[in-house]
């Protein structure tokens, strides 16, 4: 088994935090596979370190490609390049795999925001929000463009996030990130949404409510219209 990272386990190691899935459990599974005869070659990016054709030339009869879905999906809104905006993938990898919470003992730094906003409401969002709390955030908000019923996260993950103090702001979506003039994130402007007809996923489509922007900055959230706060 060829693995690009320095340890095998994929998302179970680099994405899902220790508090939800202890790494020792994944390591035990890997050890078990080793006992069954699986050989692991880490730090090997198939397609760069070695090609699939080369693997066949080396004598392998079959190649199974199980590379996961590791690339983040961005929202393509202004300000995404500001310092302080992370994809969940990068944020969780820094924290989990690279042990950024132990910086400078470990080499990888991470921004420890005091006021953190997470967009989306799947398991990845819940893990990111709960990680932010553990990294010392005073306030963590999940902003989701649909309603609670459409949240894709498992119910227990939502409950755990709520129990730990994560706030949920539903029917709101980001419009743009705002910089402080020095390349760093200072706020995010959001828009209130309402639910329309179901889309191809079967979930009701979020539709923007025109003229209903809200502004989240480092210390507060305020409405800039006569609409209810997001």
Ligand X SMILES: Cc1cc2nc3c(=O)[nH]c(=O)nc-3n(C[C@H](O)[C@H](O)[C@H](O)COP(=O)(O)OP(=O)(O)OC[C@H]3O[C@@H](n4cnc5c(N)ncnc54)[C@H](O)[C@@H]3O)c2cc1C
Strands 185-198 and 115-119 turn out to be unpaired
Which stretch, 25-33, 123-131, 166-174, 198-206, contacts ligand X (CB under 6 A)? 123-131
Stretch that binds ligand X, among 66-74, 78-86, 183-191, 217-225 (CB under 6 A): 66-74
Residue the block writes with tokens 């019923």: 149
Candidate list 127, 145, 172, 189; residue touching ligand X; CB under 6 A: 127
User: Is residue 168 within the footprint of ligand X (CB under 6 A)?
Assistant: no
Q: How many residues bind ligand X (CB under 6 A)?
A: 21
Residue 206 makes CB contacts below 8 A (sequence gap 6+) with 145, 146, 171, 173, 193, 194, 195, 196
Provide the minimum distance between the beta carbon of 57 and ligand X in the complex, in angstroms, as a whole number.
17
- Residue closer to ligand X by CB (options 36, 69) is 69
For residue 133, the surrounding DSSP H or E stretch is helix 123-134
Within a 13 Å sphere around the CA of 185, how many CA atoms are in the beta-carbon half? 26
| 72 belongs to the binding site for ligand X (CB under 6 A) | no
Q: How far is the CB of 207 from ligand X (least distance, A)?
A: 28
Kindly state whether residue 152 participates in binding ligand X, applying the rule CB under 6 A: no
Strands (E), 18-135: 115-119
Residue 227 contacts ligand X per CB under 6 A: no
Is position 70 an interface residue for ligand X (rule: CB under 6 A)? yes
Q: Which residues pair with 216 in a beta bridge?
A: 188, 221
Q: Are 96 and 15 in contact (CB under 8 A)?
A: yes
Q: Which residues bind ligand X (CB under 6 A)?
A: 2-5, 10-12, 15-16, 45-47, 66-68, 70, 92, 123-124, 127, 154
């Amino acid at each position: 088994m060829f693995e690009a990272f320095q340890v095998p386990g994929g998302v179970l190691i680099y994405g899902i935090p220790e508090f939800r899935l202890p790494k020792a459990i994944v390591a035990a599974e890997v050890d078990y596979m080793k006992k069954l005869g699986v050989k692991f070659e880490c730090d090997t990016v198939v397609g760069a370190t070695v090609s699939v054709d080369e693997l066949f030339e080396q004598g392998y009869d079959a190649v199974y490609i199980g590379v996961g879905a590791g690339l983040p999906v961005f929202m393509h809104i202004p300000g995404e390049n500001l310092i302080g905006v992370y994809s969940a993938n990068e944020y969780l990898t820094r924290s989990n795999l690279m042990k950024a919470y132990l910086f400078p003992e470990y080499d990888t730094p991470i921004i420890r925001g005091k006021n953190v906003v997470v967009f989306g409401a799947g398991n990845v969002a819940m893990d990111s929000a709960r990680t932010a709390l553990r990294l010392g955030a005073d306030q963590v908000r999940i902003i989701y463009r649909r309603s609670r019923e459409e949240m894709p996260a498992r119910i227990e993950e939502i409950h755990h996030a709520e129990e730990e103090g994560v706030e949920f702001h539903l029917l709101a979506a980001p419009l743009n990130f705002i910089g402080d003039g020095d390349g760093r994130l200072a706020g995010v402007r959001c828009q209130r949404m309402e639910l329309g007809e179901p889309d191809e996923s079967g979930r009701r489509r979020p539709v923007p409510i025109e003229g209903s922007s809200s502004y989240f900055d480092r210390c507060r959230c305020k409405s800039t219209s006569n609409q209810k706060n997001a």
